[in-house]
Amino acid sequence: MRVRELAGVKILIIGAGQLGYHTAEKLAREHNDVTIIEKDETRSRYLLEHLDVQVVTGSGSSPDVLKAAGVEDADFLVAVTDSDEVNMVACLIAAAQAKTPRKIARIRNSELLNHSRVFGHDFLNVDYSINPEDEVVAEIEKLLKIPGSTDIANFCRSQVSVVGFRIPEGSPVVGPSLSELWQNGTTKSKLLLAAIERDQKTIVPDGTDRLREGDIAFVVHPSEQLADIYSVLGLQERPVKLVMISGATRIGVELARRLQADKNLTVKLVDPDRAKCTVLAEQLDRTLVLCADPHNEDILKEENIDSCDAFIACGDEDDTNVLVSLLARGLGARRVITMVNQVRYVSLVQAVGEHVALCPKLIAVSQIVQFIRRGKVVSLATFGDEEAEAMEVIALDGSKLINTPLNQLDLPKGVIVGAVMSRDQMFIPNGTTIINAGDRIVFFVQSAARTKLEKLLVKTERL
C-alpha cells in the first residue's frame, strides 16, 4: 500500500515585518520550504537565529535578488512588505521571470483594491490580495453580530459557526465533565464544545475535561440557531445598540462607516484631532463624531459609557488602546474590543479579563495560510495563541476517514470532529456517524496533532 503524503511546498516570502515573520514561522512549522527576502541585514540575522527558514538579504523588487532566492522554483510568492509598490513589482517580476504558480500580495491602498483589473491575469496576475486593516474591520463586524462572542468563524458554506464565549459565573456547564454534560442532556443535541481556552492556553478537550468560570468555550453550532446557545451556557443575549469607537484611524473610520448603515445602532467616534473630526463629521452622516480625549473619564461618562454595548479601541498606539480599554471597562462598558498591532500584546490584553484583542497581522496570517493550504483545506481558523485550529476539509474517496464509524477511527489525541455536511445537510456527529466521500468535515485540532490528522485525509493506493 502506498500513501500520498501532503508534502510541503516551496514558499518565497518578501518582507520580514511582523506579518512576514509570523507567516514564515507558521508555514515553516508545517514543514514547508520557506525562504525570506529581507532588505535589513540585522533583521536577516535575527530570522536565521529564530526561524527554520532560508534568508536572502536584498530588495524584493530586484530581479536578481528574486532569482537568487529561488523564485523560479517557488510554488508561492508572498509579498508582504509595508510598501504596496514593492509588493506589486515583486508579483509582476515573478509572473514575467519565473511563472510562479501562485502570488499573494499585501495591498493597503483601498483605491488600488477597488480596481480589480489591476490584479487580474492581464496585468499583475495576483491570485490573492490581502489588506490586514480590512480584515480586522470585517472581524469586528462579525463579533458585534453575535453578542458576547470572543471569536467567530464560519464553515460549510456558512451553515456552521464556531463561536467562542466566555463562561460566566453560575453557568450550568461549570462543574460536570463534558461527557456528563452530554449524558445528562445539558449539551446533548444542543451544541458541541470543541475547544477550551484557559490561562492563555487552548486545548481540544476529551470527555473528562471540565469547564470553569472564565474559560472561553468554543462551540460548534448551526449558524441560524446560535441564539439557542445562550441559555445552555448561562449567558444573556443582549443585542448591540450603542457602539463607541476610540480612534479616527483608517480602521476606526471604516468601521464607523459600515456600522452606521444599521439604523438600529447608535455609533459614536471619539478622537482628539479637531481637524480630522471636522472632516469626518461631514462624511459620516449617521455617526456622532466627538472631538475629545478618550482618556478623559468625564467625557466618557457624559457620553453614557455605562450604557455602551461595545467599546472598540482602534487608535494608532497600542499603549493608548490598552489604557482606554481598561478605562472603558472600569466605567461600565459591557464589552471591550481592543486592536493591537504588536502580536505580543494579544495575550497580555486578554489576560486582563473580559477583553477581546484583535491583531490585524495575525488575522492576515491566518488568511494567507488558508490560501496556501487550499486544496487540502477548504476553510481554516486559528484560536487562542494559534495552539488550536478549526479546519474544513472534503473527504476524499480512498481516504481512511470514509465508510467507518467515527468511534472506530483511530483519530489522534487532540482531534474532534465538530460538524459534518453531507448532501447540503449539516449535522453534529456522534460516534456512530459514518463519513462518505465528498462530505465536508469540520475538525478541531491541536496544532501538535495536525500532521497526524493530515495522514488520515490523504488517499491510499494499492500497488
Cell of 231: 441559555
Q: How many residues does the chain have?
A: 463
Report yes or no: 86 and 79 within 8 Å, Cβ to Cβ: yes
**CA distance linking residue 191 with residue 225, whole number of Å:** 10
Cell of 376: 487540502
**What is the layout of strands, in order, in the sheet containing 355-358?**
287-291, 266-271, 242-246, 310-313, 336-339, 355-358
Report the half-sphere exposure of 35 (CA within 13 A, side-chain side): 22
Report yes or no: 26 and 93 within 8 Å, Cβ to Cβ: no
Q: What pLDDT score was predicted for residue 114?
A: 60
- Determine the distance from the C-alpha atom of residue 230 to the mean position of all C-alpha atoms in its chain, rounded to a whole number: 23
Residue 241 has a CB neighbour count (10 Å cut-off) of 13
Q: What pLDDT score was predicted for residue 124?
A: 64
Residue 386 has a CB neighbour count (10 Å cut-off) of 17
| Residue 29 CA: distances (Å) to CA of 6, 34, 369, 450 | 14, 10, 12, 11
In terms of C-beta density within 10 A (0-12 exposed, 13-18 middle, 19 or more buried), how is residue 366 classed? buried
Comparing 18-22, 154-158, 246-250, 383-387, the range with the smallest average pLDDT is: 383-387
**What percentage of the chain has pLDDT greater than the value 90?**
54
Report yes or no: 79 and 14 within 8 Å, Cβ to Cβ: yes
pLDDT at 2 over 60: no
| pTM recorded for the entire structure | 0.85
Give the pLDDT band (50/70/90) at residue 367: confident
| Residue 172 CA: distances (Å) to CA of 86, 181, 230, 340 | 54, 9, 11, 34
When pLDDT is averaged across residues 384-405 and rounded to a whole number, the result is: 84
- Determine the distance from the C-alpha atom of residue 5 to the mean position of all C-alpha atoms in its chain, rounded to a whole number: 27
Between the two ends of the chain, the Cα-to-Cα distance in Å is: 6
Please give the domain boundaries of the chain with CATH numbers for all domains.
2-130 (3.40.50.720)
Q: What pLDDT score was predicted for residue 1?
A: 27
> Could you read off the pLDDT of 327-365 as tens digits, one per residue?
999 999 999 999 998 887 787 777 766 678 898 988 899
Residue 127 has a CB neighbour count (10 Å cut-off) of 18
Q: Which of 365, 403, 389, 399 is nearest to 443 (CA)?
A: 389
**Which single residue is written with the C-alpha cell 495575550?**
347
Helices (H) and strands (E) in the chain, counts: 15, 24
Report yes or no: 163 and 146 within 8 Å, Cβ to Cβ: yes
**Which is it for the CA torsion 139, 142, 148, 154, positive or negative?**
negative
Report yes or no: 237 and 231 within 8 Å, Cβ to Cβ: no
Give the pLDDT band (50/70/90) at residue 462: very low
> Could you read off the pLDDT of 55-101 as tens digits, one per residue?
999 999 999 999 999 998 899 999 999 999 999 889 888 887 777 67
Q: Which of 444, 463, 455 is nearest to 205 (CA)?
A: 444
**CA distance linking residue 164 with residue 152, whole number of Å:** 6
**Which single residue is written with the C-alpha cell 499583475?**
124
- Kindly report the three-state secondary structure assignment for every residue of 83-116: CHHHHHHHHHHHHHHCCCCEEEEECCCHHHHCCH
> Could you read off the pLDDT of 295-332 as tens digits, one per residue?
999 999 999 999 999 999 999 999 999 999 999 999 99
Q: Which of 311, 323, 243, 316 is nearest to 276 (CA)?
A: 316
- Please list the residues that pair with 242 across neighbouring strands: 266
Comparing 25-34, 50-59, 239-248, 300-309, the range with the smallest average pLDDT is: 25-34
**SS3 category, 74:** coil
Check residues 274 and 371 and name the one with the higher pLDDT: 274
Cell of 460: 491510499
